[in-house]
Amino acid sequence: MGNEPGPSRPAADEPGASAGLRRRFRIEWLWVTALSSALVIAALISGWTRPADDLLYDAAMRAAPAEADPGILIVAIDEPSLATLGRWPWPRRLHAALLDRLAAARPQSVVLDLLLTEPEADDPSLAAAMQSLRVHLPAQFLVPGRDGKPFERIDPVRALALQAAGIGHANTAIDSDGTVRAAALCYAPGGRAVPLPHLMALRPLTRDCTTPRRLRFARPESFATISYVSVLRGEVPPALIAGRRVLIGMTAQGLGDRYPVPVSDGGNMPGVEINANIANAQMQDGWVRSLPLAGQIGLALAPAWLLMIGFWRIRPRAASLLAIALMPGTLALSTAALAVNWWIAPGPALLGIALVYPLWGWRRLQATSDYMRGELSSLEREAALPLTPAIATDSDHVTRQAEQLARAIAQLRDLKRLVSDALAGLPDPALVSDLAGRIVLTNGAANVAFGEALDGVEVDGLLADIAQPAARASIAAYLAHPASGHIEFEARDGRAFVLRRAQIVGADGAPRGRIDYLTDITVIAQARRDRERMLQLLSHDMRAPQAAILALVGPNQQDVDRVRIARHARQTLTLADSFVDLARMQERSFEPEPVIAADLASEAADSLWPLAQQRGVQISISDNSDCAFVSAERESLFRAIVNLIDNAVKYSPDAGTVTVRIDAAGEQVRLTIRDQGKGISPVILPHLFERFASESAGHAVKGVGLGLNYVAAVVQRHGGTIAAHNAAGGGAEFILILPLDRAS
Amino acid sequence: MRIAIADDDAASLAFLENVVIGMGHICARFGDGERLSAALLRDTFDLVMLDWNMPGKSGLQIVEWMQSTLENPPPVIMLTARTAKRDVTDALNAGADDYICKPEEESVIAARITAVLRRTHGGATMEKIAEFGGYRLDRMAQTIRHGGSDIVLTAKEFELADLLFRNRDRTLSRAYIMETIWRTSADLATRTLDMHISRVRSKLCLKPENGFRIFTVFGYGYRLETIDPSKDLEATG
């Protein structure tokens, strides 16, 4: 009884158990409750447990018998009387003589518990003796009666019946085991007859008096008894008889009716003594009451239901203890009730407890087993890892289930191994933390980077700790909203990391924890810094001396050398700027805005006006685009156009003209920049937009290489094309085609 | 004129706005100093009216910050319930142009605003005829004469050209231009302004040869630059 079958607890309390298992448990629970209730009610109504119940009842009755009322006196037709007065039946004048004796002693009443149904010669003398006393006589019932009647009532001889104070029945209610435990206060065989009160009925009778009632018996031979013959001889002092209820009946062995009773310890009790007990019960209210049927059912079901609720609500061990406690509890309740003359048969309730416990244990095991089998099968179908060996299918059910379980465990182990192998195989630190933010799993790289004892450490704190103080705020901001990709930060030891945080989500979609993955980008960051430093050098440190040269040369236009020096210095500046611009542009993402192409060209031309004016070169803008917009990155496209016009100005002869045409055609905007120079050498032309394309003869060396390369890169970024050729009328022509801004 | 008002008290903000709008100016409201500072970095205002006590930056701090950070700080009128002499001198010394103690009557505030604007923008009165370089603006006829011929402009184009000429060599934010010319910046497509600039540029032939160029300040607005022919090449390289 005390073992714990199945899961450690009913599913209702277990948040992890699936809804299916919980529903199954609920159904099984209802099923077990209903079945055991039905069996308990059936047992109660059909009396399956009566024999066992009566054992308890009889024992309790023996332990606490009734007190014999001193007001009852039995005049026994016993062995000495038979020995003295001769064989039974005696002539009725003996009874008349006895009654005369009794009358002299003035008893309260007399019950002559003898069947006097056949007329005899002595009847008149007996009738005369009865006149001076209150004598009750029994009627006889024949069931079934003669001539097919259901029963037949045979009253005492008419002469006697007329003198009787009352006629009663003396039928005993015999239980199925032959024992007399109850008495019916009225008798009406067939139910419809007018009930006849019991010989011993002393009180007004209720309507349901025909139902036998249990009564508490006194121990055998505990009523005051005197011998028939002693009374007849006048040996009994009248004081002994005066005021008592006298029962005259047979006690001698072999005479009259005798029945076993609860207190008789296997022996039988004479009918007259049973009647004395009935009278005793009437006088002392020694009747044992029982509950109405509904109450009996309720009490019989209560322990089983209590236990079922216990199975649902409390731990199995406690439920077992409850089951154990309920059995003696039920017995104790029955015994206690009997002490105050209430009889509650404990049998059905005990049967309920005895049924419920194994039934529920069985159904719960079955449900759990089915659930596990289902889960294992689905786990197997989902095939967490395709590496596990197959199962032999010819083994028996339990073996197969055990194998399935073993396999599932093996798969889990494999999976765990896979996870830890995968984690360990990662080249960079990875920190797995639970929902509370505490580290639960790390890899070797993390241990190398941040120390060995990381388990249980708060991960956000650790990350803040390894970062430089300046980076902590931004790390905290990222960790609070890690959806936005990743974050770069520098550690206190100088290393640089990219931090990515990913959520771990269970199969049910609920979060389980987080993975923080740190990529060491120290080398990349270093390279980036170096590059940045070089760009700084180019854009600032190299610019400054060139600007100083230009300042020193001054605006003097007359000195040819000075003009040349200024031009070279400016060229160096342009080269550096182009290089830096190109480098910067390539690391930037393309974020265009709508720009009017003609305006951009005009402003580019405006910015080159001082240079052009110096050499008398005219920049003529011819706009046929009607404010066409291009989707452009203003700064880089502006610079590209400046480069192109700048080139055109450079290669133009003094006092020449540079023509800039802007045309809109279809989905495109075309910029044409044409000079009146010597044109581009055919050797260079195919390689014009390659990086550092060098100048050769035919062109005055003016360093376009990087400038055009920049232009090509910008145009490519804008999804446009650039082409160069020598125009028919002489001079170079660059054609820049850009897509029209869609929205315009 | 476009006037920025910063006050953390909604009631006085609404009161000042009414005064400013009643005078025919455009109003931009700010609930605290931080937002005003941010706007000053990317927008143009003709006047800033500042409350002294605001969450974040105090009025005095903003005045000091404007003087040290902005290239062309707009004039400032401080408004406050403080009346101590020391506060008045502190504000004026920090760079405020005027000082109004709250509460003050509407007419007085209007007069003080007009005075500051006249002082800093050379008077709000506009001559019928104005000349800028080779351009002669007739504000009655809304025509511009250049190189011996009249240039036909739409009303908005003329207003824009006038605005640019009047504010030549001053960078105007896009919002400032749009609110001054179109009285709004909310519903107007930004392309409208680009196209008007482009038309003004080409119709008036605003190019260095004619002494002017329109310069786009990326991410901010426009500036009409006057070109000095004797200028050193370095400046525009």
Q: Give the tokens for residue B68.
A: 């040290």
Residue A253: its pLDDT value, please?
85
The DSSP code sequence of A51-87 is HHHHHHHHHHHHHSPBPPPTTEEEEEE-HHHHHHH-S
Distance from CA of A648 to the nearest CA of B (A): 16
Q: B-chain residues within 8 Å CB-CB of A606?
A: 207-208, 213-215
First-to-last C-alpha distance (Å) of chain A: 87
Q: Give the tokens for residue A389.
A: 């060996």
Determine contact, residues A610/B231, Cβ cutoff 8 Å. Answer: yes
Q: Examine the pLDDT at B27 and tell me if it is beyond 80.
A: yes
* Facing residue for B218 by CB, picked from A598, A629, A635: A635
How many beta carbons lie within 10 A of that of residue A163, not counting itself? 18
Once rounded to an integer, what is the mean pLDDT over residues B205-210? 88
Q: Do B191 and A629 count as a contact with CB atoms less than 8 A apart?
A: yes
Positions of chain A with pLDDT under 70: 1-18, 190-193, 202-207, 383-395, 484, 555-557, 690-706, 743-744
Residue A205: its pLDDT value, please?
67
Considering only residues 169 to 198 of chain B, which have any Cβ-Cβ distance to chain A shorter than 8 Å?
A: 190-191, 194-195, 197-198
Q: Where in chain B is the domain with CATH 1.10.10.10?
A: 129-236
Residue B220: its pLDDT value, please?
81
Residue A10: its pLDDT value, please?
42
| DSSP three-state, residue A554 | coil
Q: Judge whether A635 is closer than 8 Å to chain B, CB to CB.
A: yes
Q: Judge whether A733 is closer than 8 Å to chain B, CB to CB.
A: no
What superfamily does domain A426-517 belong to in CATH? PAS domain (3.30.450.20)
Q: Do B214 and A613 count as a contact with CB atoms less than 8 A apart?
A: no
Residue A1: its pLDDT value, please?
40
Q: Examine the pLDDT at B112 and tell me if it is beyond 90.
A: no
How many beta carbons lie within 10 A of that of residue A253, not counting itself? 12
**Model confidence band, residue B1 (pLDDT cutoffs 50, 70, 90):** confident
Q: Judge whether A662 is closer than 8 Å to chain B, CB to CB.
A: no
Q: How far apart are CA A656 and CA B100, in angstroms?
A: 62
Q: How far apart are CA B160 and CA A721, in angstroms?
A: 35
Query: Chain B: residue nearest A629 by CA?
Result: B191
Residue A733: its pLDDT value, please?
92
Q: Does domain B129-236 have CATH number 1.10.10.10?
A: yes
Q: Give the tokens for residue A349.
A: 């309730």
3-state secondary structure A428-483: CCEEEEECCCEEEEECHHHHHHHCCCCCCCEHHHHHHHHECHHHHHHHHHHHHCCC
Q: Where in chain B is the domain with CATH 3.40.50.2300?
A: 2-120
* Facing residue for B218 by CB, picked from A596, A605, A634: A634
Residue B235: its pLDDT value, please?
35
Q: How far apart are CA A34 and CA B69, in angstroms?
A: 87
Q: A-chain residues within 8 Å CB-CB of B216?
A: 599, 603, 634
CATH of the domain spanning A591-739: 3.30.565.10
CA distance readout (Å), B109 to A260, A577, B23, B78: 124, 52, 11, 11
Nearest residue to A223 (alpha-carbon basis) of A100, A118, A111, A316: A111
Q: Does domain B2-120 have CATH number 1.10.238.10?
A: no
Q: Give the tokens for residue A397.
A: 């059910």
Q: How far apart are CA A176 and CA A179, in angstroms?
A: 7
What is the value of ipTM here, to two decimals? Answer: 0.72
Q: Judge whether A620 is closer than 8 Å to chain B, CB to CB.
A: no
Q: How far apart are CA A65 and CA A122, in angstroms?
A: 41
Q: How far apart are CA B170 and CA A373, in angstroms?
A: 83
Residue B44: its pLDDT value, please?
87
Once rounded to an integer, what is the mean pLDDT over residues B103-112? 82
Q: Give the tokens for residue A455.
A: 């388990």
Q: B-chain residues within 8 Å CB-CB of A573?
A: 237
* Facing residue for B236 by CB, picked from A594, A599, A607: A607
Nearest residue to A345 (alpha-carbon basis) of A303, A286, A285: A303
| DSSP three-state, residue A654 | coil
For A410, half-sphere exposure in the C-beta direction (CA atoms, 13 angstrom radius) is 15
Once rounded to an integer, what is the mean pLDDT over residues B50-75? 85
Q: Judge whether B208 is closer than 8 Å to chain A, CB to CB.
A: yes
Residue type at B82 in one-letter notation: R
Going by DSSP bridges, is the β-strand pair A173-174/A180-183 parallel, antiparallel, or unpaired?
antiparallel
CA distance readout (Å), A100 to A32, A78, A127, A398, B80: 70, 20, 11, 89, 136
Residue A737: its pLDDT value, please?
93
Is omega for the bond preceding A237 within 30 degrees of 0, making it cis? no
Q: What is the pLDDT of residues B122-165, one digit of tens each?
A: 654 577 888 888 899 988 888 899 888 889 899 999 999 999 99
* Facing residue for B197 by CB, picked from A599, A605, A613: A599
